[in-house]
Amino acid sequence: MAITNGPTYGAGFRINPRADHTDGLFDICTITYTPLMRALKLLPIVKRGEHEDLPEVRFYRAKSINITSRNPVNIHMDGETTCAASYKAEIMPGALSVRV
C-alpha cells in the first residue's frame, strides 16, 4: 500500500500516476499479494506509472485514512521509518504556506 499526495513515491516510482497535489485528497494504491516472479516483472511497469489496468492493483482517494493492523508493521513517511499497529492521517488544505 502506498499513500501519497502526489504521483511519485520513493526513487521516482509513479505509484499514483493520477495524483494531484492540489485536490485535497490522498491517493492510495494497493497491490494484492503477488508471487515473487510476477512482482519482479511488475516493478518497471509500476515505476513508469503504467499499472492502472493490472488486476492486482486498486486505487482509492480519501481526505483521511485510518489503517489498523493486527501486528505492528513498518511505515515509511517521507524517508523516515517507524513501526505501528495503527496510523491515522488527514489532509489539511491550506495548512502549509509555500513561498516560491
pLDDT at 82: 92
Domain count, the chain: 1
Residue 47 lies in a domain: yes
pLDDT at 10: 78
Residue 87 lies in a domain: no
Residue 70 lies in a domain: no
Residue 28 lies in a domain: yes
Range of the domain at 42: 2-65
Q: What is the pTM of this model?
A: 0.85
Residues 6 or more apart whose CB falls under 8 angstroms from that of 68 comprise: 85, 86
Percent of the chain with pLDDT over 70: 100
Asked whether 48 and 14 are in contact (CB, 8 A), the reply is yes
Residue 71 lies in a domain: no
The SS3 call for residue 36 is helix
Any idea which residue has 515505476 for its cell? 47
Q: What is the CATH number of the domain that holds 19?
A: 2.60.200.40
pLDDT at 51: 95
